[in-house]
Amino acid sequence: MAAGAAEDPQDRLSGLPDDVLHSIIGRVPFKQAVRTNALSRRWPRLWLHALAASGVLDFTDRGFVRSQSRAHIVATVNRCLRVRGGGAPIDVLRVSLCPFGAFERDVVGWIAAALRRGAREVDVNLTQGRVELGAAFVNCRTELELPGDLFCAESSLARLSLGRCSLSNVPPGAPGLAGLTSLSLTHVDITDDAVRDTVACCRLLEFLSLRNCHLLKFVRIAGENLRGLEVVGCLDVRQLQVAAPALESFAFHGDILYFKYREDESLEFEPVEFIGKGNNTQTPSEATPLLRDAYLSHIGFGVYDDPLHEFAFSNLMEKVAHAKILTICSVGLLKRAISMSS
């Protein structure tokens, strides 16, 4: 048997037709697909063609990123784009890199190429590499600055997820964002006005996620089609105003939201408002969306004031208490129990 193997330098797997091998490689993780380079000279061409043919360019495998040099990673992505052909469509582009500073120009170029070729989903995650200190995370780098003209042209983009990117140069009403149905922003320097204007321009938006966006303070969101909203770790948020009659899922994980009073002690605004038809906040049946599920969690940064937090958190829970599935953290549950027993 050993002698027979020596006479045939090519293994049986390599002898299969290209279409069969493309199907096999397309079903294994990216990292393992790249490792087939070691089998023979034929395999690099096979896995590149298999990846490109799928229309889903996924470069989020942490093992691959950590085990390759910057030059090799850039060359691999560029080769996949070339193999795909200058005009061949790309359905999905997913990129997760660290440290992103070494790939800054390349990442912007990849996004632009995907948009030009009809990508419906773009996911760029550059949030890896934070340093954990106790219960908090310290950011080790700034955001990747996206050019203002990146989304200037109309596109097929429906799902956009950005992690540690700067949108300061991107106008909220950019034509390339108009067709979004899902928008997820993590560690993005977006402002209150930019959130409001972006959601207003994305009339098809159904899901919005804001995570660790520390410029947000008074968030105002209005979307007729918005069905899912999550505000997580945005620690400076003090007011959340939502006009979304179709909202089904709501999640808030962060510091407590405060009431604000005028000098005459009258209420200036409530921390959370659900606005119904005609900007109505008074009639619950019209102002409150029919939530399917709601999740509330209080992180508890800063000085804890028992009466204030008990009142504020109870008010927040009352806004979503009608949800069919209500999940609250232990602190919120304790405060709710105290409020009900008093």
Q: How confident is the model at residue 293 (pLDDT cuts 50, 70, 90)?
A: very high
Task: Compute the average pLDDT of residues 192-220.
Answer: 95
Instruction: Give the predicted TM-score (pTM) of the model.
Output: 0.79
* 8 Å CB contact between 251 and 294: yes
Percent of the chain with pLDDT over 90: 35
Dihedral of CA atoms 186, 171, 252, 226 in degrees, nearest 10, equals: -120
Q: Measure CA 106 to chain center.
A: 20
Find, among 207, 163, 226, 161, the residue nearest to 189 by Cα: 163
Give yes or no for a contact between 91 and 115, defined as CB atoms under 8 angstroms apart: no
Tokens 């440290």 belong to: 99
Q: Which residue has the higher pLDDT, 163 or 299?
A: 163
296 or 138: which leads in pLDDT: 296
Reading the block at residue 77, the tokens are: 């992505």
pLDDT at 188 over 90: yes
How many CB atoms neighbour CB 201 within 10 A? 16
Contacts of 91 (CB under 8 A, 6+ apart): 55, 56, 118, 119, 120, 121
Preceding omega of 99 cis (within 30 degrees of 0) = yes
The Cα–Cα gap between 103 and 97 comes to: 8
For residue 291, pLDDT over 50 is answered with yes
pLDDT digits (tens, 9 = 90+) for 84-138: 665 678 899 999 887 556 677 889 999 999 999 899 999 999 886 543 333 344 4
d(CA 328, CA 295): 6
User: Strand pairing of 121-125 and 92-96?
Assistant: parallel
The per-residue pLDDT of the chain, averaged, comes to: 76
The pLDDT of residue 201: 93
Highest-confidence segment of 8-17, 42-51, 224-233: 224-233
SS3 164: coil
Averaging pLDDT over each range in 228-232, 253-257, 284-288, which range is the top one? Answer: 228-232
